[in-house]
Structure 1
């Protein structure tokens, strides 16, 4: 899974869930970072006090419905 790190607000967002409600839109691009490294995320959380975005954690991704063939 890929993550967006918001260095201005010390938040970690799940890319597939991140949106306007997360509040990272005001963070300059220079203060954003993308990663898929879980060890890097753990380091940020344990050593620098970063936390997971509550909106991303609460979001659920609905499975895609199968495409029905017209008959």
Structure 2
């Protein structure tokens, strides 16, 4: 995936043990690790991703709210 070990650890810390797949999907969608605590409709990005919401769905929700999830 092209992640440094420290970056992978940060993704896993943010989104759980399935961090590799979620990190890949987020990177593909353009969602930055720094956006994990952004609240969208009352739920943080990382909670939405942990709950199974696809990264592109989270991105669309953020766009609809006028929020940027990229660095």
Larger Rg: 1
Mark yes or no: TM-score above 0.5. Answer: no
TM-score, structure 1 as length reference: 0.27
TM-score, structure 2 as length reference: 0.27
- Bigger relative CO (Cα 8 Å, ≥ 6 apart): 1
Q: Is the strand fraction higher in 1 or 2?
A: 1
Q: Is the helix fraction higher in 1 or 2?
A: 2
